[in-house]
Structure 1
Amino acid sequence: MHKLNDIQKIYFIGIGGIGMSALARYFKSRGAAVSGYDKTVTPLTKELEQQGIAIHYEERVDLIPKDVDAVVYTPAIPSNHAELVYYREHQYTVVKRSDVLQWITEGSFNICVGGTHGKTTVTSMIAHLLRHSGYGCNAFLGGIAANYNTNFWSSERNVVVVEADEYDRSFLKLVPDIAVVTAIDPDHLDIYGTPEEVENAFVQFAGKVKPGGCLVTKKGLSRESELNASHNYRYAYHQSDADVTTIGLKVENGSYTFDVQGPTWVIKDITLHMGGLHNIENAVAAITVAKHLGIDDDKIRAAVADFKGVRRRFEYALKNAQHVVIDDYAHHPEELRALISGVRSIFNKQSLTLVFQPHLFSRTNDLADGFAESLDMADQIILLPIYPARELPMPGVTSDMLLQRMKAKHKMILEKQDMLNWIKENKPSLVVMAGAGDIDALVQPVKAILEQ
């Protein structure tokens, strides 16, 4: 089953995942009958149900459709999942999400954004630039774009903007016309084993750019000399020897204004309303792609000014004279470092309370020293227990392991309810909530406490 047009009925195991839900929306937009399973009800699964997609939340073979053309599963689903086992044993077409993305992009002009962090924001920015400017694209995002409140949209133009996920090496199934690489720091060592293997995969990804294609990479990446295509651009937030960089940065009312200078061009007075210095750099990457595609400067300027960000990427949950609450998906030491630095660039006089939920035992174990260093940048740190996601516990790997490595004076580990009680008692003025687990469900309760 490779012909997309032959898929009239499709079933998703793990439909509530951010990448899976984008594919579900894609097939729904093409008129296919879409259904799926997920283990928990979330705002995203509720939205899918409102769009006419049938979802059940119990792992039961008697609830699954038997008449389907294809079954798609996410790597987060265990191999002994009853529904997955049934479909495999009965010789259905069972594929990973990455296989379906490969089918979709086989006949399109593809802009693929990879990187161990930053890729969701850059993908969303590029897709927004192309949509807002009228250029047009089909978008598969790893987050919810705040401008459109979705992670997928379609267009008549045969251009696909897609987040290229390095987990499980799935991004190697894509063939980019334009590729972006934002970072190649060690991550997913449960899959790759060593940092060198992570780097090797990104060198392979860069090598998949089509002849005559374009590669946009962050300046100073390791193995930079091996990251090449017909057209190369190295970008940076503020670095005079980069091909594309910023000049004249000003911070006004929590927004940034700057010029972007390319090899033979300058766009003046770009305004970005999304916080975080790392997001200026992300904008530079997106602008580089837009310029390569020939989009007009005025349209780029207008699109960036209109960009409202991505849910859970430096997202203001509360912002008034007394309290600020920022929600962010940061779950890697470098992401935490960028997040805290970005918050400091705007709120440099306030004490910063960081609530962090570590994500995965393996990642916490592999990157413990880096986590401790980044967490120490906050004034008050509250650690929640580790969110296991797809993993079983590892002996000795706990949030306390991070706490013992940290040098900060004000640090503690609290259960979720105890954290909310602490917020209620102490009423901190600046709270940053970070993590990729279910910490997002605590953002509204924290906001409600501080609004009272």
Structure 2
Amino acid sequence: MNIKDLHSVYFIGIGGIGMSALARYFKFIGKNVGGYDKTESPLTKELAEGGMEIHYEDNIDLVPQHYKIPIGTLVVYTPAVPIDHREYQYFIKEEFEVRKRSAVLGLVTNHSFCLAVAGTHGKTTTSCILAHLLKEAGMPITAFLGGISEDFNSNFLLEGTEVSVVEADEFDRSFLQLTPNVACITSMDADHLDIYGTSEALVQSFKNFAGRIKPEGKLFVRNGLPLDGITYGIGDNSDFCIENLEIENGAYIFNLVTPEETFRGVRFSKPGKHNLLNGLVAFAMALQTDAPKQRLVDAMGTFKGVQRRFSYRIKTDDFVFIDDYAHHPTEINAVYEAVAEMHPNKKVLAIFQPHLYSRTRDFIDDFAKSLEKFDSVLLLDIYPAREQPIEGVTSDWLLQKINNSNKKLITKSGLLEEIKKQAPDVLVTMGAGDIGLEIEKIEKEFTHEN
């Protein structure tokens, strides 16, 4: 398949964060772009405003005619689309070119100098930092991101095509479609066990990904992971290491030690040691390009963040509201540690929406241990995403396991009143489901009060 020969690209699941980035790319290079999604969202509205034809009913009659011409049309789908989806079945039966998102991403990036970010946690933040560094350094990059960068307010960046930045997603083994020049692996904690079955199978998949790096390429791995590669860490004699770490006015100041030289007085403002590690490996990867080093150092200090990744929505002397995408126990622990570090001795209320019945079941005890650290916990019902309910797996089951007397099940409609009642110093919302749609309501209510 040659991208130059395409006239139309149709996306089944166009509103997904990874799908929408690809859709923006094809629209930018002049293709007809349209698609289906289950529900309208702020993201699909943006795509539609940008000239893409989108509908929200699985009905082939709603697909515009110019996407029904097999020659010159590419159909892209996400693994979240069920196999019996009518539009998907139509395109398969009519013998269209139908490809998974990951395969198309591999095709688009294969002829560039590809920097790929893998790991069960930290992919989105790391890839957004990397894209920011290279953009600020004036590099000709295309970036496909799994979140909305606060630095350029998009999940897609096109400044040129010589260098590409991509998230290498382990879900459904998607990252095995990529052949990067430089890659990193931030973490390999057990996750997606509905796909892999065992944590050993997940680790093996990461090893297979490492084997796909091009000859003469480089792999960066967080120190402690059971993989061969260039290591990075904090104060641990890694190949790339952060030393003399201090906190000054809510920002980290440190020395960044590389095998060749030491950069002193580097500044990074995103709270949490996990984010600091993300920044470190992004910097290490950026150094593998021709980017001017001092511009990369300067750009470390100007990174704003990623929507829903330890995002400060309100920050006053009396009240702090932080929103995060955390949906795994390790991620919740990282959020807790960052809050404790940046806001010590404050009363913290955590609101959590579990994501997927299978993930809740597989990590139920770990979820309980990570959540009970907060002063107070509110639980929303499990967000099902692509799954059907599993008998006995409920938020109430999780609640019973949390060893904290200040805990409660809550509905979305009762959130605002309960937050007012508890009057926390710091409010943290967490989850990968539709809890994100409640954030603006909370922000509006409590910005007004403060």
- TM-score bracket for the superposition, by shorter chain length: over 0.9
Structure 2 counterpart of 1:90, one-letter code: E
Q: Distance in 1 between matches of 2:331 and 2:236?
A: 24
Shift of 1:411: 1.0
* 1:277–1:345 Cα contact (<8 Å) kept: no
Aligned counterpart in structure 2 of residue 127 of structure 1, from 114, 131, 140: 131
Are 1:315 and 2:311 matched, yes or no?
Answer: yes
Local SS of the residue matching 1:369? helix
Q: Tell me, in whole angstroms, the C-alpha distance in 1 between the residues paired with 2:65 and 2:190.
A: 41
| Alpha-carbon distance in 2 for matches of 1:449, 1:156 | 42
Counterpart secondary structure, 2:143: strand
Alpha-carbon contact 1:423-1:449 (below 8 Å) kept: no
> Partner of 1:350 in structure 2?
346
- Residue 141 of structure 1 corresponds to 145
**Alignment partners' CA distance in 2, 1:59 and 1:323:** 44
Kept in 1: contact 2:144–2:167 (CA 8 A): yes
String of CA shifts for 1:383-404, please: whole Å, max 9, x gaps: 1100000000001111122112
Counterpart of 1:9, as a letter, is S
Report the counterpart of residue 47 of structure 2 in structure 1. 48
What SS is found at the alignment partner of 1:292? coil
| 1:127-149 deviation line (CA, Å, top 9, x unaligned) | 11111101221100001111101
Shift of 1:358: 0.4
Deviation at 1:294, TM superposition (A): 4.7
What is the TM-score with the length of structure 2 in the denominator? 0.96
Matched, 1:286 2:277: no
Does the alignment pair 1:215 with 2:219?
Answer: yes
Q: Is 1:233–2:230 an aligned residue pair?
A: yes
Aligned counterpart, 1:79: 83
Moved more, 15-24 or 246-255: 246-255
Q: Is the 8 A contact 1:139 1:153 kept in 2?
A: yes
2:386 aligned counterpart, secondary structure: coil
Aligned residues: 443
- What residue in structure 2 maps to residue 361 of structure 1? 357
Gaps of 5+ in 1: none
In structure 2, the residue matched to 1:20 is 19
**Which structure 2 residues correspond to residues 405-424 of structure 1 after superposition, within 5 A?**
405-424=401-420
Deviation sequence 1:296-347 (CA, Å, 0-9, x none): 3321121111111111111111111221111111111111111110111100
1:161 partner letter: V
Q: Distance in 2 between matches of 1:153 and 1:201?
A: 28
Instruction: Name the SS for the 1:211 alignment partner.
Output: coil
Aligned equivalents of 1:152, 1:275: Cα separation in 2: 24
Question: Does the aligned pair in 1 maintain the 2:110–2:180 contact within 8 Å?
Answer: no
The alignment partner of 2:287 has SS state of: helix
Name the structure 1 match of 2:70: none
Q: Secondary structure at the match of 2:165?
A: strand
Structure 2 match to 1:67 = 66
Aligned to 1:250: 246
Q: Report the Cα distance in structure 2 between the residues aligned to 1:135 and 1:95, rounded to whole angstroms.
A: 30
Alpha-carbon distance in structure 1 between the residues aligned to 2:65 and 2:96: 9
Q: 2:256 aligns with which of 254, 260, 266?
A: 260
Superposition CA RMSD, Å? 1.3
Deviations 1:218-276 (A, max 9, x none): 0101x22xx3xxxx42011x232211111122222222111111223111111112222
Listed as ranges, the gaps of 5+ residues in structure 2 are 68-72
**1:66: how far off?**
3.9
After superposition, what is the alpha-carbon deviation per residue over 1:38-59, rounded to whole angstroms, capped at 9, x for unaligned?
A: 1222111111111111111122
User: How many Å separate the matches in 1 of 2:371 and 2:104?
Assistant: 38
Aligned to 1:286, the other structure's residue is in SS state helix
Quick one: distance in 2 between partners of 1:420 and 1:80?
40
Q: Distance in 1 between matches of 2:237 and 2:80?
A: 41
Deviates most, 396-405 or 20-29: 396-405
The aligned counterpart of 1:4 is 3
Normalised TM-score (structure 1): 0.96
Q: Offset of 1:427 from its aligned partner?
A: 2.7
Percent of paired sites with the same residue: 45
- The superposition leaves residues 98-123 of structure 1 with CA deviations (integer Å, 9 ceiling, x where unpaired) of 11112112222111110001011111
* Residue pair 2:254, 2:267 contacting (<8 A) in 1 also: yes
Q: Secondary structure at the match of 1:306?
A: coil
1:31 aligns with 30
Q: Helix, strand or coil: the match of 2:224?
A: coil
Contact 1:35 1:53 in 2 (8 A): yes
